[in-house]
Amino acid sequence: MESYLKENFEVEPKNPTEEALKKWRSAVWLVKNPRRRFRMVADLAKRAAAEKKRRKIQEKIRIALYVQKAALQFIDAANRTERKLSEEVVQAGYDIEPEDLAYIVRSHNNKTYDFHGGLQGLARKVKVSLRNGVLSGDIPKRQQIFGYNQFVEKPQRPLWMFIWDALQDMTLIILMMCAVISVGVGIATEGWPKGMYDGLGIILCILLVVVVTAVSDYKQSLQFKDLDKEKKNIIIQVTRDGTRKKVSIYDLVVGDIVHLSIGDQVPADGVFIDGYSLSIDESSLSGESEPVNIDKKKPFLLSGTKVQDGSGKMLVTSVGMKTEWGRLMVMLSEGGDDETPLQVKLNGVATIIGKIGLAFAVLTFFVLTSRFILVKFIRGEMGKWRMNDGLELLNYFAIAVTILVVAVPEGLPLAVTLSLAFAMKKLMNDRALVRHLSACETMGSATCICTDKTGTLTTNHMVVTRLWAAGDTKDIKTKEKLKSSISEKVLTVLLQSVFLNTNSEIVKDDTGKTSIIGSPTETALLEFGLLFQNNYTQEAKNVKIVKVEPFNSVKKKMSVLVALSNGKLRAFCKGASEIILNMCDKVINEDGEVVQISDKQRKAITDVINGFACEALRTICLAFKDIETGSTSDDSKSNSNSNDIPESNYTVIAVVGIKDPVRPGVKEAVKTCLDAGIMVRMVTGDNINTAKAIAKECGILTADGLAIDGLAFREKSDVQLKEIIPRLQVMARSLPLDKHKLVTFLRNELKEVVAVTGDGTNDAPALHEADIGLAMGIAGTEVAKENADVVIMDDNFKTIVVVARWGRSVYINIQKFVQFQLTVNVVALMTNFVSACTSGSAPLTAVQLLWVNMIMDTLGALALATEPPHDGLMKRPPIGRDVNFITKVMWRNIIGQSIYQLIVLGILQFNGKKLLNLNGPDSTAVLNTMIFNTFVFCQVFNEINSRDMEKINVIKGMFDSWVFMIVMVCTVTFQIIIVELLGTFASTIPLSGNMWLASILMGAVSMPVGVVLKYIPVESSTPSHDGYEPLPRGPELA
């Protein structure tokens, strides 16, 4: 079976090929209900059509953006006149129509832009201050006139459509036809109402199956819709009511002033207000990979594009479906998401079992019909055919079709969807947003986690605790003592460096309380600056910012060029201490004088940096350089090369040590990973000494582990890498390309299943390459999140471990469900087939088999596929990349339980009347009811058995799983109702108390049988979990 599955039903978890997707679809055979079975499977034809349509729109946009003459084909902007304002717009107080406003950015035509008065003209027309932004009270009015920032989405399918989908099952349709015929023939032969009971029973049972199935599917779809909305929710920084604040992308309105920085997604169409070195990647819209530089001459920003470099502010001019991105998003949603490897594999299992089931159904019908005809022949009644004979043959056909209903496990692939939906919802509560379904599965196989340090292992609440300036190291304790120990000249240039060279902003809320919006490192520096100078705007009053180079993870520094009040230019630079120190040839002494730096001083500063780093402090070096000549014209503000910021000959101002404590619980989470066979590697841009100190504190770096910096890593050959990477635990001062190289090597050469964290734009290639990309929800850019499979909403390493637990839980839960369903399949098929061959009748009727099908399909999936994870899952090694899905342990349990159940049901079938002392005309009906009841209770107790495939105590945690308990109670309750009250429809007879007790006891014996089976040794690919020794890994064993 496994070789067949690997050959035909194998797809990659990420970015599967079109060929692999088509291959498994063509291999699927005997699908009862394609509409339901493939509801969560990508529609390749629809996807291809949507892609074609998307490319057409992209081509139109590309022409409009890059070929101005072609853009003018649509509307001659030069001759364009302003359309008359509608009554609605006039009453709202605006001076421009929404369509005119949207056209300005969409056309990318400066003439139209100038026609409306440029930036200031548009701001006047939409009634907004470029300084204070939109007033909160105006938002409803703006949404009414200019629209909401939401895209048209397919409406949620109502419940009746899911009921309709469930009714498309071919076998159920055949059964309903049989039931209708049965009612007609029954009434004709047996009269009303007795003649209709058999057929009506089947119809009612089919309706029950359909409703339960439809409600389950409907609830899943609601969960996916909620998660999908959460995936698209982006937090935007805007200026409103004169203050900078964070809002949801859905709440953005025309007139908003949006702040953009590296990695952000442009949330709506708009025009550039101001900024520095703003570079936009428009490939998502136009297909062009070349970035576009945005300035006052090229001010147009399109929704859905990404900020590749720089920073800036924009005025929103159109939102939602009035943007090009809105039109394109409708296309992007067509075709659905790729199916997961487990869904594909279980479609394969369903196909194999379906073929076997079809053979049994045909054989059963053939045997029953042959026996019936043979009996008629022996009795010499071949020439006499009555209505009852036709009804009997119809009943045989109904039984054969019902066997097919039971035999084709349509619920297997759908159980994966159910389990994943449940896991995704729970993970959302645990602060992890799963973007791609397959990540839930793959995380269970992760053998290695490459994690960032800042914010993931640490709290990201940074405070400056140490300072080196003017040759002296100081602890940051009291402001007065610190201020007295630093000369006025040194303090002046230090504060200039802090307040001018920053991407963050100090704002006051409605209550007047000061807060800082920006990265944690910048926040720590600004809070340090505020100790000395409360009037933080003072430094900016007498200077003019000429050019800014924002921080990026490759250069590991941020620079700014400012024009001082005396007309001279001064550059400030800050960043990774050793990198900035190498750019400096001078230093400020204790008198505030600039002097040449000696080798002795350079060594002393290096020792200070290493000293701070060994105390687990993040070190930042601040430097400046005065420039004698240069222009300060406005043109230089927007991407001019006339004032490039220098790269050398700086003067060292200070080195600061920033404390970022390790998160509570991280050490325990790392130990959990090591016990679970998951190697944790820290990959950080920080100083190697800081990285080593934090790694030791977290339990990542062990005595025999290796810590290396990015430069040394890059110089290693592939042979050397193969030797060192198994021991590599810390990589410091790494570039994004180093992370990508490490992930690629681990996956391709060492065959590891790699999870990697990332937050920056440059982390996107590594996130995309990894088996599981984990983006940070707080510190992460939109580019990083878009390339990730899971977004860690709280940036906490502990949450990553939770995702790993759920990943293992999903895989194990599906295995448990498969084990349970295959056991029911084997027993139901064999019981009816053997009985048909020997006695010429089937003990389980069509109605009873439909009920059994619901127990093992929808209800079984609900019970077993939604079991929450337990700690024991993290005391076993990861699930291998190429392990057999149906393990030897599962086969042992399936075969053992099937043999027990077949023996019990066989004894009842052939010797039941004698054992149970049954006499009288209804003895056969009582026996058949007893067989049915015993069979159902065998499944109830086997469902409990299936909660753990290896552990003996299967009761542990059962009462904590409320879904499991509800399913168990419902199953037993409905079984009592069917046997005791619905005998007319279900062909059952009420049983005595002793009979009920005997049925329950025979079912319950399957639990001690399960215990005995678990003592039978089989080769297991993974050792058992709870109660066993953890794997011999971890800091304490180094």
Q: Which residues pair with 547 in a beta bridge?
A: 561
pLDDT category of residue 77 using cuts at 50, 70 and 90: very low
Q: Is pLDDT larger for residue 628 or for residue 128?
A: 128
Signed CA dihedral, 121, 123, 127, 131: sign only: negative
Judge contact between 112 and 299, C-beta under 8 A.
Answer: no
Count of CB atoms situated within 10 Å of the CB of 724: 13
Question: Nearest Cα to 766, choosing from 753, 754, 780?
Answer: 754
Question: Nearest Cα to 167, choosing from 114, 120, 203, 193?
Answer: 203
Average pLDDT over all residues of the chain: 82
Give the least confident one: 168-172, 262-266, 461-465, 632-636: 632-636
Terminal-to-terminal C-alpha distance of the chain = 42
* Rounded Cα distance, 66 and 56, in Å: 15
What pLDDT was estimated at residue 83?
Answer: 67
When mean pLDDT is compared over 201-215, 260-274, 778-792, the highest value belongs to: 260-274
Mean pLDDT of 688-704: 92
What pLDDT was estimated at residue 603?
Answer: 93
For residue 240, pLDDT beyond 70: yes
pLDDT category of residue 949 using cuts at 50, 70 and 90: confident
For residue 1029, pLDDT beyond 60: no
Judge contact between 148 and 250, C-beta under 8 A.
Answer: yes
Specify the residue for token string 């941020």. Answer: 558
For residue 363, pLDDT beyond 80: yes
For residue 78, pLDDT beyond 60: no
For residue 191, pLDDT beyond 80: no
Query: What tens digit of pLDDT does each residue of 716-745 get?
Result: 998 999 999 999 999 998 888 898 999 999
H or E element at residue 545: strand 544-552
For residue 975, pLDDT beyond 80: yes
Specify the residue for token string 């049954």. Answer: 918
pLDDT category of residue 803 using cuts at 50, 70 and 90: very high
Mean pLDDT of 131-158: 86
When mean pLDDT is compared over 7-21, 159-173, 244-258, 369-383, the highest value belongs to: 244-258
What pLDDT was estimated at residue 91?
Answer: 87
For residue 73, pLDDT beyond 50: no
φ and ψ of 168, to 5 deg: -80, 0
What pLDDT was estimated at residue 334?
Answer: 54
Distance of CA 583 to the CA centre of its chain: 42
What pLDDT was estimated at residue 682?
Answer: 94
Query: What tens digit of pLDDT does each residue of 220-231 get?
Result: 778 777 777 777
Asked if 452 is an active-site residue, the reply is: yes
- Can you tell me whether residue 1008 is helix, strand or coil? helix
Judge contact between 217 and 417, C-beta under 8 A.
Answer: no
Give the least confident one: 14-23, 28-37, 626-635, 655-664: 626-635
What pLDDT was estimated at residue 114?
Answer: 87
For residue 137, pLDDT beyond 60: yes
For residue 609, pLDDT beyond 90: yes
pLDDT category of residue 1034 using cuts at 50, 70 and 90: very low
Which string of DSSP letters, residue by residue, matches 150-219? ----PPPPPHHHHHHHHTT-HHHHHHHHHHHHHHHHHHHHH-TTGGGHHHHHHHHHHHHHHHHHHHHHHH
For residue 448, pLDDT beyond 80: yes
Q: Is pLDDT larger for residue 708 or for residue 424?
A: 708
For residue 173, pLDDT beyond 80: no
Judge contact between 761 and 781, C-beta under 8 A.
Answer: yes
For residue 1023, pLDDT beyond 60: no
Question: Nearest Cα to 433, choosing from 290, 226, 187, 204?
Answer: 226
Based on its alpha-carbon atoms, the radius of gyration of the chain, rounded to whole angstroms, reads 35
Structure letter (DSSP) for residue 872: G
For residue 34, pLDDT beyond 90: no
H or E element at residue 728: strand 728-732
Count of CB atoms situated within 10 Å of the CB of 430: 17
Query: What tens digit of pLDDT does each residue of 192-202 get?
Result: 766 676 667 77
Q: Is pLDDT larger for residue 1037 or for residue 567?
A: 567
Judge contact between 779 and 805, C-beta under 8 A.
Answer: no
Query: What tens digit of pLDDT does each residue of 393-405 get?
Result: 877 877 777 777 7
What pLDDT was estimated at residue 163?
Answer: 84
Core vs surface per residue 365-389: b (16+ CB within 10 A) or e: bebbbebbeeeeeeeeeeeeeeeee
Mean pLDDT of 533-555: 76
Interacting residues of 137 by C-beta distance below 8 A, sequence separation 6+: none
Q: Which of 452, 675, 763, 795 is catalytic?
A: 452
As a whole number of angstroms, the longest Cα–Cα distance in the chain is 125
Mean pLDDT of 125-137: 90
pLDDT category of residue 1026 using cuts at 50, 70 and 90: very low
Judge contact between 905 and 927, C-beta under 8 A.
Answer: no
What pLDDT was estimated at residue 428?
Answer: 85
* Rounded Cα distance, 270 and 276, in Å: 17
Q: Is pLDDT larger for residue 330 or for residue 215?
A: 215
What pLDDT was estimated at residue 636?
Answer: 39
What pLDDT was estimated at residue 635?
Answer: 42
Give the least confident one: 139-148, 207-216, 380-389: 380-389
Q: Is pLDDT larger for residue 55 or for residue 960?
A: 960
Question: Nearest Cα to 801, choosing from 896, 975, 651, 669?
Answer: 669
Query: What tens digit of pLDDT does each residue of 568-595 get?
Result: 899 999 999 999 999 999 999 888 889 9
* Rounded Cα distance, 768 and 784, in Å: 9
- Can you tell me whether residue 952 is helix, strand or coil? coil
pLDDT category of residue 640 using cuts at 50, 70 and 90: very low
What pLDDT was estimated at residue 587?
Answer: 94
- Can you tell me whether residue 451 is helix, strand or coil? strand
Distances (CA, A) of 866 to 416, 613, 789, 829, 961: 10, 46, 21, 27, 8
What pLDDT was estimated at residue 69?
Answer: 39
Amino acid letter for position 66:
Y
pLDDT category of residue 74 using cuts at 50, 70 and 90: very low
Query: What tens digit of pLDDT does each residue of 307-348 get?
Result: 888 889 999 999 988 887 776 666 555 556 677 888 888 888
Query: What tens digit of pLDDT does each residue of 992-1008 get?
Result: 999 999 999 999 999 99
Query: What tens digit of pLDDT does each residue of 816-852 get?
Result: 988 998 898 888 888 877 877 777 666 777 778 778 8
Interacting residues of 471 by C-beta distance below 8 A, sequence separation 6+: 587, 589, 590, 601, 604
Question: Nearest Cα to 313, choosing from 273, 271, 264?
Answer: 273
pLDDT category of residue 391 using cuts at 50, 70 and 90: confident
What pLDDT was estimated at residue 329?
Answer: 65
Mean pLDDT of 73-84: 53
Distances (CA, A) of 421 to 36, 219, 298, 426, 787: 16, 10, 45, 9, 21
- Helices and strands counted in the chain (H then E): 41, 26
What pLDDT was estimated at residue 313?
Answer: 92
Query: What tens digit of pLDDT does each residue of 273-292 get?
Result: 988 888 898 887 776 777 88
Interacting residues of 865 by C-beta distance below 8 A, sequence separation 6+: 415, 416, 418, 419, 422, 813, 814, 816, 817
